[in-house]
């Protein structure tokens, strides 16, 4: 009958629809499984950060998905403490339970002023016209490099000039959670107050505009989380920590952490060395490069006297190495040479030498 035929057609159509639906679902499941297999797997929060940093350096995605094993959700919540924020930061993440051991995690990328300026300086990508803070930061970068960098400067001289500008014009902040600028280059260069990530971002932007390659290192120093730069000069990498060259409350420009090696900075900094460049040499280290290392009491008197007489600032630095004589006696010889009865100084202990900071 017509009714029976109609019922059969409806059943056939339902079967066909169900088959198509199951086929689509099966294909989606298969595709998702294949996609998950293609995703890289991280086994620690440091490896998660390394993968994110690598992907952000290659492109500017809105999200990143990776497989995570052995990393807790609370560790993932601190991911921004481990990634190089010049390429973006993590706004949020979503965990998809895959099994007890491995989870798929999707990270949503947030761009900030530093991100836009860095992309513009490095790749020529226009800054969005509605991002006023990024435009202000970009103009400040151009103003600084245009002022402190002179024609004929070597990359070392450019780096030194930019380092000294930053340390001289920025004050270490309190890291208030309510003031994101303190953690960004904007805080360091516009507000003139920042924590280590702000110093490091600012140094990265300045070096990038000067045509000097650099990278950000995430680790620990002084019993707290810390960030600093590595700089590439003459086919070699060196550590540069502008934050620690700006001692709190001292109003000086130090160079104790300017272009130092892995061995030297390891005295008070720690990081996962397998995930960073290797800095094996100290030939571009500030004191070696500037001829400010004294190896005898006589050399200390000569170098310190020259610095005292020729330095226009209220302080100067001298490094001493392999001097076995009593330091106080060496300082007395220097004071006699300049005709003073007393002089204030502080000491920064390094691995290969001591740094003396004299205050006029």
Give pLDDT tens digits for 190-207: 999 999 999 999 999 999
**Amino acid 35: pLDDT:** 54
What are the structure tokens assigned to 41, written together? 């797997």
**Amino acid 27: pLDDT:** 55
Low-confidence ranges of the chain (pLDDT < 50): 34
**Amino acid 200: pLDDT:** 97
**Amino acid 10: pLDDT:** 78
Interacting residues of 248 by C-beta distance below 8 A, sequence separation 6+ = 172
Give pLDDT tens digits for 248-284: 878 899 999 999 999 999 999 999 888 789 999 999 9
Q: DSSP of 50-103, one letter per residue?
A: HHHHHHHHH---SEEEEEEES--HHHHTTGGGTS-GGG-EEEEEEEEE-SSSEE
What are the structure tokens assigned to 292, written together? 């400010």
**Amino acid 186: pLDDT:** 96
d(CA 36, CA 98): 10
CA angle (242, 243, 245) in 5-degree steps: 60
Model pTM score: 0.84
Domains and CATH numbers, the chain: 41-110 (3.30.70), 113-281 (3.10.620), 291-359 (3.30.110)
């Amino acid at each position: 009958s017509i009714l029976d035929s109609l019922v059969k057609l409806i059943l056939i159509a339902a079967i066909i629809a169900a088959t198509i639906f199951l086929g689509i679902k099966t294909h989606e499941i298969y595709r998702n499984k294949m996609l998950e297999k293609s995703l890289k797997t991280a086994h620690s929060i440091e490896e998660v950060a390394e993968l994110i940093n690598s992907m952000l350096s290659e492109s500017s995605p809105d999200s990143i998905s990776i497989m995570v094993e052995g990393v807790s959700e609370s560790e993932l919540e601190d991911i921004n403490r481990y990634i190089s924020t010049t390429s973006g930061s993590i706004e949020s993440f979503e965990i998809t339970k895959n099994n007890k051991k491995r989870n798929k995690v999707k990270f949503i990328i947030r761009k900030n002023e530093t991100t836009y300026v860095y992309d513009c300086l490095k790749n020529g990508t226009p800054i969005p016209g509605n991002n006023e803070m990024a435009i202000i930061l970009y103009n400040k970068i151009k103003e600084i490099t245009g002022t402190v960098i002179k024609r004929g400067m070597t990359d070392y001289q450019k780096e030194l000039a930019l380092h000294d500008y930053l340390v001289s014009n920025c004050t270490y902040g309190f890291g208030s959670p309510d003031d994101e600028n303190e953690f960004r280059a904007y805080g360091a260069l516009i507000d003139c107050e920042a924590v280590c990530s702000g110093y490091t971002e600012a140094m990265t932007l300045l070096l990038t505009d000067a045509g000097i390659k650099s990278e950000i290192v995430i680790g620990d120093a002084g019993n707290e989380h810390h960030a600093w730069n590595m700089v590439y000069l003459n086919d070699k990498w060196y550590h540069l920590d502008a934050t620690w060259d700006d001692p709190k409350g001292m109003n000086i420009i130090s160079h104790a952490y300017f272009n130092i090696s892995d061995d030297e900075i390891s005295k008070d900094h720690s990081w996962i060395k397998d995930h960073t460049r290797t800095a094996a040499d100290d030939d571009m280290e500030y004191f070696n490069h500037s001829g400010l290392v004294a190896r005898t009491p006589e050399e200390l008197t000569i170098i310190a006297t020259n610095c005292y007489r020729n330095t226009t600032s209220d302080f100067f630095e001298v490094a001493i190495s392999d001097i076995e004589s009593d330091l106080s006696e060496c300082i007395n010889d220097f004071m006699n040479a300049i005709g003073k009865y007393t002089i204030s100084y502080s000491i920064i202990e390094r691995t290969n030498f001591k740094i003396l900071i004299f205050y006029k």
